[in-house]
């Protein structure tokens, strides 16, 4: 990473990621609700942002490319079970991850519905973990403990490995 890029990243952290150029603005664009139920879609390609690629497998992509932060758990809460990749999810959902040592981490989804637990914020995290979400008073919990934090690897448009589709409260 160049010195200029590092300086920009530090500035973004200092400003709390609130400025559009730091990744919390732009790149989510209006679309039809027949394409994405929330009417918003990620259009920023692979530009670095916490809003990027809702519904994707964040951990796999960050690992394969060797870029971006390292996550222990990452995924997206969607409005419906079968949203297409890049359709924005639900902002403000509470995701509670409880590791094998009963330590809980409460995460809030951002404007694209993404949530993530950075490795640096989860020292000593122990698998397997359980997960539950709370959205507008509705709570839903996973039925079995998980050994991977790559939520998007199972919670796909159609669902894999017995997942019913996207993470949602519907």
Within a 10 A sphere around the Cβ of 146, how many other Cβ atoms? Answer: 16
Domain membership flag for residue 163? no
Q: Which two tokens stand for residue 150?
A: 């790559």
Domain membership flag for residue 128? yes
Q: Say which DSSP state 4 is in.
A: H
Domain membership flag for residue 37? yes
Average the pLDDT over each of 10-14, 26-30, 70-74, 130-134 and give the range with the smallest value: 10-14
Residue 142: what pLDDT?
A: 92
Instruction: Provide the pLDDT confidence category of residue 155 given band limits of 50, 70 and 90.
Output: very high
Domain membership flag for residue 7? no
Give 76-102 pLDDT, tens digit per residue.
999 999 999 999 999 999 999 999 999
What lies within 8 Å, CB to CB, of 49 at 6+ separation is: 23, 24, 27
- Mean pLDDT, residues 134-139 taken together: 92
For residue 37, is pLDDT > 90?
Answer: yes
Residues of the domain holding 61: 27-153
**Which strands sit side by side in the sheet containing 94-98, from one edge to the other?**
104-108, 94-98, 130-135, 138-141
What is the domain count for the chain? 1
| Closest to 109 (Cα-Cα) out of 120, 124, 97, 126 | 97
């Amino acid at each position: 990473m160049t010195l200029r890029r590092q300086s920009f990243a530090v500035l973004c952290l200092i400003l709390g990621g609130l400025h559009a150029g730091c990744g919390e603005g732009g790149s989510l664009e209006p679309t039809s609700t027949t394409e994405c139920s929330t009417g918003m879609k990620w259009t920023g390609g692979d530009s670095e942002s916490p809003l990027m690629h809702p519904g994707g497998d964040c951990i796999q992509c960050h690992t394969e490319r060797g870029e971006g932060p390292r996550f222990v758990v990452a995924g997206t809460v969607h409005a419906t079970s079968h949203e297409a990749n890049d359709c924005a999810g639900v902002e403000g959902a509470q995701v509670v991850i409880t590791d094998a040592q009963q330590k809980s981490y409460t995460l809030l989804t951002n404007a694209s519905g993404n949530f993530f637990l950075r490795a640096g914020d989860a020292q000593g995290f122990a698998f397997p973990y359980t997960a539950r979400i709370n959205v507008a008073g509705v709570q839903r919990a996973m039925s079995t403990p998980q050994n991977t934090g790559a939520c998007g690897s199972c919670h796909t448009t159609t669902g894999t490995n017995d997942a019913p589709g996207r993470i949602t409260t519907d």
